[in-house]
A and B are shown apart, each in its own frame.
Chain A
């Protein structure tokens, strides 16, 4: 074997340096296992440096047009095993996304991991953490399908170990099991796709041409990639692992998993379907669009029902992956119709939403981690009143919630707006069936946006406002400052992208330009203030900066009017009327279950809600000793799709094992005998 670090192009070496730094961080973490605090500090610092290098390299790469030659890391005698890095604009964009997130999460981890000191193997945790970031980076920068596959598998396995890191809880082990089964199912489909690719082209080069592959095989490859990447992305109905795995993992890891790992699937879809297979069939885009719509609506519907903060966020990831896939679907449809402009626009929107989602979902998971750090619970029904105890965290979580609900002036608005624009444009040009699909998608997107806002009103309102609902919440303290710094940087990015979207749109635009050969940024006209850049496409224009100013002005005017007509505001102090009970307590507050009740009734066909009231009779009917009220919802996918399949598989395997494994030596010898005869026969015939 020959290790060759070729010195081609500075930028590629920067990427390589980032990979190596993560590797060093992982090794150092193992070396310093005994000194928890030092280990944590050193590992995360190295990760931060690596992330900064990654950001620099990605920005340099995005601003140059040169096509860089691949860098070979490892050339071996084993057939096809060639580890090489190839970085185009698409890879660079995703590296930027990963590095920004990794930077903030690493800063956060310095504080967050403190609760593991002297309790768990911090060295091993940090080893897995750094290796996990490295594997994700390698997925993005790999230059051929074999390297991609190896990195993908490494990423899946390392994340599995992170999911079961707190393995003393049965539910975490169960989540890990479900995750590894689902992820390997997806990987198997990817492998089939790569094998079809090799069968026709005799090469694993994913930057090459797919001209030799016939149409049927291309359709088959697309299906395999869709299932394979769809499983990782967590689209409905393959989302089943996501709401279990994300809550099980430590919060900083959930932030990486939800923020970036599921995005590697988006990268894979763009890389293999859009770049490699060159979308030719209209139905590819239509299928992705449909899956996106279903994931977006159902994902957010399940989000509303969850009271476990991390499960809630996990379902919300399903929703956002749905939104991203809606954009990607439009891009594919337009690419199949050779409409380069619309395809570019939709791709820019997709990429931007991917980037934005990494920022605010990463931030929200970090926020959930802070809550868990301070209150030791994931159940939002036990929180409340935290805005007084943890003001900084509260403000940051509010920022992320606004961003994810697509509210001006945060970044979520920009990308969703672009996706709307793409969908509207798709109506004008498409055929009748596609027009209906686009219109329905717009309606579904609007519905999911509104429901997402409701879900985050619930999340923020129940956890941060009101009175504390448990002792833990009452005794919560503000988390260490480094944790807030990590989240703060993410929040700042959310705000900056929201107010100055043009520069970030340009970054995404360079990717779309390099893939589809059509630039969008120039058609997005500049605004009248230098700070605002309206995104104008065919008359539907809006300037986030101007909206922000308008919003401020409107609020000020309303306040002024109130002041003018109603006079000076006077604070009055009275006891609130408590309906005749002795005093007001936390249990009289609105609960998360109560908040989501109207939606549970409206969408009861989806949730199949059930409830149970147990009343312990007291002396009179009006004074029961205790009343227990329990409400639950069912997951129709688990009940009607997965359970039957698992049942059949399980009973089938149980029967099979007794049929094949008889325990008789003679039968085992017979198997050998028959297989030898069969092989000899095969040799004769073929």
Chain B
């Protein structure tokens, strides 16, 4: 079991790197979809495990909801938003892609360094699952910083959420049912609201480049 989980955590990290390497807004959404599928798979594995050992079904239900919301519905919403506003191709990042990838590598090394001696996480050997999932959170945040367009911020935000969700799964086999449900609902609402904001930004500035919001400063 641990092997599967290790492999999945590495795959999640790789998906984050792929996301960072994406150039087109459309491919952000596809990569996010892929990542969410991995999260759903992970939830499924842990859910089956907990069902087999303790007879709990809540993690399985969560997995099904993740598939419904994160793998299907949110990418669908994002694609719709994107289709309406993306009429122009422009450079979307401040630094070039190779540099961003190298910084991401440093983030992973940093997480390894920080978590390698944190009490309560490591049992004898260093807990790679935790390192990878915490790296996922930080890369998500860094992704938000590195992209100019509002869609990039939304996807980065969702990646952070994925990271937190996965960290909770690895650390304590999932949070209480009600908390997970609540978070998923929040995410859904947040994406809907952010989608609307993107429309507004596009209307106002003729672009969804977040950098232009600077003009609002008094």
Q: Assess whether B118 is interfacial by the CB under 8 Å rule.
A: yes
User: Which chain A residues in 630-686 approach chain B with CB under 8 Å?
Assistant: 661-666, 669-670, 672-673, 676-677, 680-681, 683-684
Chain B residues with CB below 8 A from A677, complex form? 110, 138
Chain A residues with CB below 8 A from B113, complex form? 684
Chain B residues with CB below 8 A from A665, complex form? 153, 210-211, 213
Q: Assess whether B117 is interfacial by the CB under 8 Å rule.
A: yes
User: Which chain A residues in 559-599 approach chain B with CB under 8 Å?
Assistant: none
Contacting pair A664 B114 (CB below 8 A): no
Contacting pair B118 A663 (CB below 8 A): no
Contacting pair B138 A664 (CB below 8 A): no
Given contacts A664-B214, A666-B144, A683-B118, 7 further A-B contacts (CB under 8 A): A666-B145, A666-B210, A672-B141, A676-B138, A677-B110, A680-B111, A684-B118
CA distance A669 to B94 in the complex (A): 14
Interface SS, B side = helix
CA distance A677 to B142 in the complex (A): 11
User: Which chain B residues in 108-137 approach chain A with CB under 8 Å?
Assistant: 110-111, 113-114, 117-118
Contacting pair B110 A673 (CB below 8 A): no
Chain B residues with CB below 8 A from A661, complex form? 217
Contacting pair B141 A673 (CB below 8 A): yes
A683 and B114 contact, Cβ closer than 8 Å, known pairs A665-B153, A669-B145, A673-B141 = yes
Chain B residues with CB below 8 A from A670, complex form? 145
- What's the least CB distance linking B117 to chain A, in Å? 7
Chain B residues with CB below 8 A from A663, complex form? 213-214, 216-217
CA distance A682 to B216 in the complex (A): 36
Residue of A nearest to B107 (CB): A677
Residue from A669, A676, A683 with most neighbouring chain B CB atoms (10 Å): A669
Contacting pair B141 A664 (CB below 8 A): no
Contacting pair A664 B145 (CB below 8 A): no
Residue of A nearest to B147 (CB): A666
Chain B residues with CB below 8 A from A662, complex form? 214, 217
Residue of A nearest to B213 (CB): A665
Q: Which of B94, B110, B216, B217 contacts A666 (CB 8 A)?
A: B94
- What's the least CB distance linking A405 to chain B, in Å? 56
- List 11 contacting pairs A-B, 8 Å CB cutoff, sorted by A: A661-B217, A665-B153, A665-B213, A666-B145, A672-B141, A676-B138, A676-B141, A680-B111, A680-B114, A681-B110, A681-B114
Contacting pair A666 B211 (CB below 8 A): yes
Contacting pair B211 A673 (CB below 8 A): no
User: Which chain B residues in 167-218 approach chain A with CB under 8 Å?
Assistant: 210-211, 213-214, 216-217
Binding site for B on A (CB under 8 A): 661-666, 669-670, 672-673, 676-677, 680-681, 683-684
Interface SS, A side = helix
Chain A residues with CB below 8 A from B94, complex form? 666
Chain B residues with CB below 8 A from A664, complex form? 210-211, 213-214
- What's the least CB distance linking B142 to chain A, in Å? 6
Q: How many chain B residues have a CB neighbour from A under 8 Å?
A: 20
- What's the least CB distance linking B70 to chain A, in Å? 22
CA distance A681 to B106 in the complex (A): 14
3 nearest A-B pairs in the assembled complex, by CB-CB distance: A663-B217, A663-B214, A684-B114
Residue of A nearest to B216 (CB): A663
Chain B residues with CB below 8 A from A681, complex form? 110, 114
- Over the window 71-100 of chain B, the binary record of Cβ atoms lying under 8 Å from chain A Cβ atoms (1 yes, 0 no) is 000000000000000000000001000000
CA distance A670 to B146 in the complex (A): 9
CA distance A665 to B211 in the complex (A): 7
CA distance A683 to B213 in the complex (A): 35
Contacting pair B217 A673 (CB below 8 A): no
Contacting pair B144 A669 (CB below 8 A): yes
Residue of B nearest to A673 (CB): B141
Residue of B nearest to A663 (CB): B217
CA distance A666 to B113 in the complex (A): 26
CA distance A672 to B145 in the complex (A): 10
Contacting pair B141 A669 (CB below 8 A): yes
Chain B residues with CB below 8 A from A673, complex form? 138, 141-142, 145
Residue of A nearest to B113 (CB): A684
CA distance A620 to B94 in the complex (A): 81
- What's the least CB distance linking B18 to chain A, in Å? 21
CA distance A676 to B111 in the complex (A): 11
Chain B residues with CB below 8 A from A676, complex form? 138, 141
CA distance A670 to B142 in the complex (A): 8
- What's the least CB distance linking A283 to chain B, in Å? 49
CA distance A250 to B142 in the complex (A): 58
Chain B residues with CB below 8 A from A666, complex form? 94, 144-145, 148, 210-211
Residue of B nearest to A668 (CB): B145
- What's the least CB distance linking A521 to chain B, in Å? 65
Residue from A662, A676, A681, A684 with most neighbouring chain B CB atoms (10 Å): A684
Chain A residues with CB below 8 A from B141, complex form? 669, 672-673, 676
- What's the least CB distance linking B218 to chain A, in Å? 9
Chain A residues with CB below 8 A from B110, complex form? 677, 680-681
CA distance A683 to B111 in the complex (A): 12
CA distance A669 to B211 in the complex (A): 12
CA distance A665 to B144 in the complex (A): 9
CA distance A664 to B110 in the complex (A): 26
Chain B residues with CB below 8 A from A680, complex form? 110-111, 114
Residue of A nearest to B156 (CB): A669
CA distance A669 to B140 in the complex (A): 11
CA distance A663 to B217 in the complex (A): 6
CA distance A661 to B145 in the complex (A): 16
Residue of A nearest to B94 (CB): A666
CA distance A250 to B176 in the complex (A): 60
CA distance A665 to B110 in the complex (A): 25
CA distance A432 to B12 in the complex (A): 81
- What's the least CB distance linking A194 to chain B, in Å? 34
CA distance A317 to B88 in the complex (A): 73
- What's the least CB distance linking A320 to chain B, in Å? 48
CA distance A370 to B216 in the complex (A): 55
Chain B residues with CB below 8 A from A669, complex form? 141, 144-145
- What's the least CB distance linking A289 to chain B, in Å? 52
